Amino acid sequence: MKNVLITGGAGFIAHHIIAHIIKHTDWKITTIDRLDISGNLNRLHDILKDFSVSEKKRLKVVFHDLKAEINSQIESEVGKPDIILHLAAASHVDRSIKYPMEFVNDNVVGTVNLLNFAKELKNLEKFVYFSTDEIFGNAPEGVSYKEYDRYNSTNPYSASKAAAEEFCVAYENTYKMPIYITHTMNVFGERQHPEKFIPMVIQKVRDNKKVIVHANEDKTKAGSRHYIHAQDVADGLMFILGLKNYTHKGDFGNARCPKFNLVGPEEIDNLTLAQMIAKTQNKDLIYELVDNHSSRPGHDLRYSLSPKLLQDLGWKPKIKLSQRIEEFVKWSLKNNRWLLEN
């Protein structure tokens, strides 16, 4: 039995990981969360309903804001985890443009505080930092960024995540910590924030309202992404945790910190995706293409990460994107309150 510390456990991606760990392992989980707009205890309440009393007891929730150092009281609550999964982050691009220092404190200072706690753990097996595709910026046509490509942050949020990622690499090299980094992008699934693109489209189509789809300047090509379901992220994470003595062959110099693009294998443009959602609801899509550059400062039209490394190692999502979308649309319409909550 392992002890796992998960930061941001009441958040969207992390609560899916918690459910996956409870279902597929005998591990004990402690989660740190400050329970703000991103952390919603109703998520944990929902997933725990499907587990037995003994399984529920394997999860412990500790209230703490990582902008503050992990003091002795929090240490006593957390114990000595074997694995740390760091998902807690401020992640709203528009808010980062307005309040950049808020994101430095949450994402950089918070990560360093956690690293300082982790480096004193003699039993630590892995520290996994969840980064983002946005650190690489806009992807030109035909380009899919690999794990060690250069950063090109286009907003303070992505810059803060890139900075925290570099601190992880520095701590790996300086203190010989067992740190892994994942880059995820456009994760969707049950109990997601309703403002995100897929739940937003589900709502708009349901209510026969217009869907705004961001496109290039002449409004002929919609933006595109590699979407992935949160349950597939959890499955991919467990695959990464199971890698033994992994060293990336393309490391530069003495850098040993393994990085993995944990993304969907297929790229899809947002108009095609919206049409897929409308079709699942047996409705026509009412939409308008708008210029992404003028309407969404700080946002990029196309993000693309290469899934090849994990595929070569033997992992890819087990369920096709089209099936995941159809299942999520039906779940959302049946669980309407998650389309209304923040």
Examine the fold and report which residue of 236, 261, 286 is the final residue of a domain before the chain moves on: 261
306 assigned to some structural domain: no
Q: pLDDT band for 136, please (50, 70, 90 cuts).
A: very high
pLDDT digits (tens, 9 = 90+) for 223-236: 999 999 999 999 99
157 a catalytic residue: yes
pLDDT (tens digit per residue) in 304-332:
999 999 999 999 999 999 999 999 999 99
Active-site residue, from 33, 106, 133, 267? 133
User: Would you say residue 315 lies in a domain?
Assistant: no
Q: Are residues 89 and 207 in the same domain?
A: no
Q: CA nearest 249: which of 306, 314, 307, 312?
A: 312
Looking at 33, 106, 129, 134, which residue is catalytic? 134
pTM for this entry: 0.95
Task: Identify the residue with better confidence: 272 or 257.
Answer: 272
Q: What is the domain extent for residue 165? A: 3-187+227-261
Distance between CA 193 and CA 10 in Å, rounded? 12
Residue 311 belongs to a domain:
no
Q: 21 and 65 share a domain?
A: yes
Residue 117 pLDDT > 60, yes or no? yes
Q: Do β-strands 187-188 and 268-269 pair in parallel, antiparallel, or remain unpaired? A: unpaired
What gap in Å lies between CA 136 and CA 159, rounded to an integer?
10
Identify whether residues 94 and 201 lie together within a single domain.
Answer: no
At 342 the pLDDT is 41
DSSP alpha helices (H): ranges in the chain? 12-24, 41-48, 53-56, 72-78, 93-98, 100-103, 110-118, 156-175, 197-206, 230-241, 270-280, 292-295, 308-313, 321-334, 337-340
CATH of the domain at 276: 3.90.25.10
- Residue at 209 is within a domain: yes
Convert the pLDDT of each residue in 287-308 to its tens digit: 999 987 666 776 788 999 999 9
Instruction: Flag whether pLDDT at 250 surpasses 70.
Output: no
Mean pLDDT estimate for the chain: 93
**In the predicted model, is pLDDT for residue 249 greater than 70?**
no
Whether 200 is covered by a domain: the verdict is yes
Together in a domain, 207 and 253: no
Decide if 312 is inside a domain: no
Indicate whether 154 and 69 sit together in one domain.
Answer: yes
> Per the domain annotation, does 308 fall within a domain?
no
18, 132: one domain = yes
Structurally, the chain folds into a number of domains equal to: 2
Shared domain for 248 and 329, answered yes or no, is no
CATH of the domain at 235: 3.40.50.720
Q: Is residue 84 part of a domain?
A: yes
Same domain, 213 and 279: yes
* Proportion of the chain above pLDDT 70, given as a percent: 94
Tell me, yes or no, if 133 is annotated catalytic: yes
| Beta pairing partners, 288 | 212
Residues 123 and 197 in one domain: no
Asked if pLDDT for residue 165 goes beyond 80, the answer is yes
Cα distances (Å, whole numbers) of residue 215 to 234, 279, 293? 31, 21, 8
Which one of 145, 157, 227, 303 is the catalytic residue? 157
Phi, psi at 339, each rounded to 5°:
-85, -10
Burial class (CB in 10 A: 0-12, 13-18, 19+), 120: exposed
